[in-house]
Structure 1
Amino acid sequence: MGRISDLDSEGEIDASSARSEQTTPLEESTGPLGCPENEPSETTTPTTYIVPSPQPTECSDYAGHGTPTISLPAALSMSMIRDGSREDNELFHHYISNVSVMMTPIDDDHNPWKSTYPCLAVHDVTSASSRSLAHGILAQSAFHLSNLDLPNHASYRRSAMRHFGIALRQLRRGLAGQTENFSCTLAAMLTITLAEHVFHGQSKGLSHHLQGSVQYVARYLGQKPWATSYEAWVITQSFVLHTLMSQIVGDTVTDTASTATTLHDVLEDVTTDPRFAYTLGSTPRLMKALYQARLLEEQLAARESFWDAKPNLSEDELLQASKILAALNTPLDAEVELYMSRQRPMETPAQQRKFIVSNLTLFNSAVAIYLLRVVLRYPPSVVAEQVSQTLSAALALLEMNRVAVSIWPIFIAAAEAYTDEAQALAERVLSLSTSLGATNRAVIHRVVKQIWSERQATAAQRRCEGGDVLVDWRQVLKNMDVEILLL
């Protein structure tokens, strides 16, 4: 598969994908359907990885709390892609009606995969980055259909590979241009990454895709387009979440000084909006706590040589850990109310509240597990209660017939399940999660089982309880030669 970080390599795209680019009807599209004409103009110069500095941009005013500048009409039709083939429009319709719904546990009017991403994809068909985004969306949709138990799944897979190849080629052209839209280009990068590493389930190359988006965003640290338009903010939010979650799970993004600076600077900007992380069903406070835990882990890892030994914390490090725990012990009431204020009254208030509380509990408990088990290296027995809380909240959400539950908390909790009861609960949650058509979740299930197997073997060897055994699941991932994007 092609890589975002070395898109100048023609050899990364197979010949069939290159040929199909010349004939797909989407390439001949002449105008958008379904999106307003007054989308704010962004004229930032995109970057390849040997590029001039970005040029000044003109964007709509955005104070972080305003109304989105673009949205889809209430009535979605299958003719969103003008002059697109019937297959293209069917895939686009499937993406909006089904795939976008499973991209976030909070599927409401603010779901960017139902509004911002598809609107950007069809708004300017003369833009290579818009075409890349459109084909990335069609690839996601086709990969999703190919993962379902359908008679023509092989046909969908071929279609997905074709659209994926075109998306890569168009992205490379966009990066080489001088007038491409920051939002479209970054959205295309993230969509391609999701298509390959969530829906296709391809493990290899994740770090290259993520590093490419980091390098791209780093070019705009001076301009900060994410502070001036809604679509740039919501897509940059996705970038921050992609990067942060990937660093925490598998170190798939090399922790260079440049990466750390880029993530820190952008995260500081986007988390000022109280809506940050809503697409994960989380909150700015919980994600900041997770980020601070990650920074503490890096600080400890720089001097600790034995992974399975508890670190000796300095006074400053003890203070950092205490502040994170204090943040996690803060009542969720205010954040629940903020979520409630953004919901359409489609269910009873009690049902909506239960759904929101379960999502926030899921993340709150999972961040605690990460801090105590991974950063401070307490054994699994210390976080048994949080493991049960996290998995129980996930099961409650899945049994509410919700089609999406964030997978990162599920993985963090399932990895530390060591009793028969906890593992049975994790199996139930993972089995329900893997039925949604996202291939990465089946990979996660295999990884969790390997972690359990290694813990059991070590406990038997040491003649101790499984709750006393620390398993470095990052090392398990490396041994299995797996990179996973837990989104």
Structure 2
Amino acid sequence: MSLRKRGGDATPEFAMDFIEIDRLVKPPQSPEERRLLHHFVTATSSTMVPVDGLHNPWKSIYPLIASRSATSPGVRSLHHALLAQSAYHLINLLGKDAACPEKTRAGYHYGRALRELRRNLRTSTVYEESLAALLAIPLAEHVFRGDADGWHVHYAAAIEFVCQHAPSRPWTKSIEAWTVSQSFALEYLILQTSKGCPSSSSRIPTSMHNVLDELLDKPSFGYTHGGTGHIFRMIYQIRCLEEDMYQEHPQGFTGVMNAAMQTKLSAIIRQLEMPIEDQVDIYVRHQETYGIEISRHMRTSIHLHIELFTVGVELYLLSTVLRCPPCSVHEKVDKVLAATADYVDLQQRGSFSIWPVFMAATQAYTPEAQSLATYCLQSADDTGAANRRDVHRLVRQVWFGRQRLAETLRCDPGGLFIDWREAMKGLGLNVLLL
């Protein structure tokens, strides 16, 4: 891996030559760990990005960091977190009754990952090792195991850790540091969208604004979620707009915006009009810097995923933030769900980013749209990530609440806004939309 200078800073060039997995990952000590790590690299990691390949950091960078040193608690924590992800993934694929031995292994490795992380945070400040472990642990517990509560504690620690290191800009030092920093920023932005704005604690802190502003400026940002930096800048700006709206209307948005907010909204809408094909070109150029040849099939997959993600961002703005009723966005809902179904059929698997599909599915109110949403969500269920079941459950709760309210009011359900965040609270869930 090489670094090149840009404006006096060392920035990862993204020209790393990815070598064979068997050479990249040092074999663990026990045959059982070797088996779990092999499953993680060859199967689990493939479900964690929409467009798979050796460019997938969960297939390359994270195992590379996890193989560095047996004496580092940060490395050991990450190593056990990846094994826990693998074991939970196997449980979900094989069925809980058939996978009882994997339950014990998953619990053991998850517990070891936590213990090593605590030791690491007390004794070590190696940035990429520590942050990688901080990110891998909640994915094991709250995505693959599917425990829908408690993830905010893990991410609060990650936020504090990144902000402490931010003055030294560690993401400019190596490809590994850049990769885990990008993962953190991506996940942070998605998690923020699950929050309402009830208090100052849910606002993006100033220190995080500085981190996000720099990371989002990189053309490669967002690729691991099947998106682009442009898409995630829109999510960031919409979330900031929502925070401003709450400050102006703490009792709830009334539909009235001051001049400053109208200017921000107009700028967001203009940026959302960027052609899909232009975004695909950005994504493809980034892939090609790795020496990856983009086939026609792969380009079609990329186009579909960027399309569903871009329109999903529009739905986040219109339906979650501006609270437009489903009947006003039904064409966008149909567009996301149709692109998702085509993507699943083309890829023959449901490893798409769940966030934009969730944004569309919650607004489906006709039998046809709900049937298509169900097909997409069931495809996601089959990937072996247990939290997909809670996502599906939450979507159905939104549908049920809208239909019940429509029957009470004797009106068309398409005209009724249902706050999916409130529905999530009503179910006692705190779903991690990753």
Q: TM-score range by the shorter chain?
A: over 0.9
Are 2:155 and 1:210 equivalent residues in the alignment? yes
Change (3 A) 1:272 1:345: closer
Structure 1 residues 347-369: Cα deviation after superposition (integer angstroms, max 9, x where no partner): 742x2221111111111101111
Residue in structure 2 matched with residue 153 of structure 1 by the alignment: 99
Give the TM-score normalised by the residue count of structure 1: 0.82
Change (3 A) 1:238 1:365: same
Q: What does 1:390-429 align with in structure 2 at a 5 Å threshold?
A: 390-400=336-346, 401-429=348-376
Letter in 1 for 2:299: R
> How far off its partner does 1:183 sit?
0.2
Residue in structure 2 matched with residue 378 of structure 1 by the alignment: 324
Contact 2:337/2:357, CA 8 A, preserved across alignment:
yes
Aligned mates of 2:278, 2:430 — CA distance in 1: 36
Structure 1 residues 408-459: Cα deviation after superposition (integer angstroms, max 9, x where no partner): 0111100011111111110110111101100000000000000000001111
Greater shift in the superposed pair: 340-349 or 181-190: 340-349
Aligned mates of 2:150, 2:63 — CA distance in 1: 25
Are 2:64 and 1:119 equivalent residues in the alignment? yes
Are 2:39 and 1:91 equivalent residues in the alignment? no
Contact 2:143/2:385, CA 8 A, preserved across alignment:
yes
Query: What secondary structure sits across from 1:221 in the alignment?
Result: helix
Match 1:192 to one of 137, 157, 163: 137
Residue in structure 2 matched with residue 430 of structure 1 by the alignment: 377
Residue in structure 2 matched with residue 140 of structure 1 by the alignment: 85
Contact 2:203/2:243, CA 8 A, preserved across alignment:
no
Are 2:424 and 1:480 equivalent residues in the alignment? no
> How far off its partner does 1:304 sit?
2.1
Greater shift in the superposed pair: 261-270 or 469-478: 261-270
RMSD over equivalenced CA pairs, Å: 2.3
Greater shift in the superposed pair: 309-318 or 435-444: 309-318
> How far off its partner does 1:273 sit?
1.2
Unmatched segments (≥5 aa) in structure 1: 1-37, 41-60
Q: Which structure: greater helix fraction?
A: 2
Change (3 A) 1:442 1:257: closer
Residue in structure 2 matched with residue 30 of structure 1 by the alignment: none
Q: When the two structures are aligned, how many residues end up with a matched partner?
A: 424
Q: What does 1:210-289 align with in structure 2 at a 5 Å threshold?
A: 210-250=155-195, 256=201, 259-289=204-234
Contact 2:117/2:130, CA 8 A, preserved across alignment:
yes
Are 2:406 and 1:462 equivalent residues in the alignment? no
> How far off its partner does 1:345 sit?
6.7
Q: What does 1:49-128 align with in structure 2 at a 5 Å threshold?
A: 62-68=10-16, 73-76=19-22, 80-82=25-27, 84-128=29-73
Query: What secondary structure sits across from 2:43 in the alignment?
Result: helix
Aligned mates of 1:152, 1:452 — CA distance in 2: 33
Change (3 A) 1:270 1:131: same
Aligned mates of 1:83, 1:133 — CA distance in 2: 13
Residue in structure 2 matched with residue 366 of structure 1 by the alignment: 312
> How far off its partner does 1:134 sit?
0.2
Contact 2:308/2:356, CA 8 A, preserved across alignment:
yes
Contact 1:247/1:253, CA 8 A, preserved across alignment:
no
Structure 1 residues 232-265: Cα deviation after superposition (integer angstroms, max 9, x where no partner): 1110111111111111024599853885223211
Unmatched segments (≥5 aa) in structure 2: 4-8
Letter in 2 for 1:216: F
Are 2:249 and 1:304 equivalent residues in the alignment? yes
Contact 1:123/1:130, CA 8 A, preserved across alignment:
yes
Change (3 A) 1:251 1:312: closer
> How far off its partner does 1:467 sit?
1.1
Are 2:271 and 1:327 equivalent residues in the alignment? yes
Contact 2:145/2:386, CA 8 A, preserved across alignment:
yes
Residue in structure 2 matched with residue 440 of structure 1 by the alignment: 387
Residue in structure 1 matched with residue 119 of structure 2 by the alignment: 173
Aligned mates of 1:306, 1:141 — CA distance in 2: 44
Letter in 2 for 1:368: E
Change (3 A) 1:381 1:289: same
> How far off its partner does 1:81 sit?
4.2
> How far off its partner does 1:83 sit?
5.0
Aligned mates of 1:448, 1:284 — CA distance in 2: 27
Are 2:261 and 1:314 equivalent residues in the alignment? no
Aligned mates of 1:339, 1:471 — CA distance in 2: 34
> How far off its partner does 1:108 sit?
2.7
Query: What secondary structure sits across from 1:220 in the alignment?
Result: helix
Structure 1 residues 162-183: Cα deviation after superposition (integer angstroms, max 9, x where no partner): 00000000001110114x4100
Seq. identity, %: 35
Aligned mates of 1:394, 1:258 — CA distance in 2: 31
Aligned mates of 1:237, 1:254 — CA distance in 2: 27
Match 1:356 to one of 279, 290, 302: 302
Contact 2:149/2:431, CA 8 A, preserved across alignment:
no
Change (3 A) 1:113 1:337: same
Contact 1:131/1:167, CA 8 A, preserved across alignment:
yes
Query: What secondary structure sits across from 1:484 in the alignment?
Result: coil
Aligned mates of 2:131, 2:295 — CA distance in 1: 37
Aligned mates of 1:102, 1:74 — CA distance in 2: 19
> How far off its partner does 1:123 sit?
1.1
Aligned mates of 1:166, 1:469 — CA distance in 2: 47
> How far off its partner does 1:214 sit?
0.7
> How far off its partner does 1:305 sit?
4.8
Are 2:285 and 1:337 equivalent residues in the alignment? no
Contact 2:21/2:60, CA 8 A, preserved across alignment:
no
Structure 1 residues 189-245: Cα deviation after superposition (integer angstroms, max 9, x where no partner): 100010000000011211111111111111012111012222111101111111111
Change (3 A) 1:368 1:67: same
Greater shift in the superposed pair: 248-257 or 361-370: 248-257
Query: What secondary structure sits across from 2:166 in the alignment?
Result: coil
Query: What secondary structure sits across from 2:114 in the alignment?
Result: helix
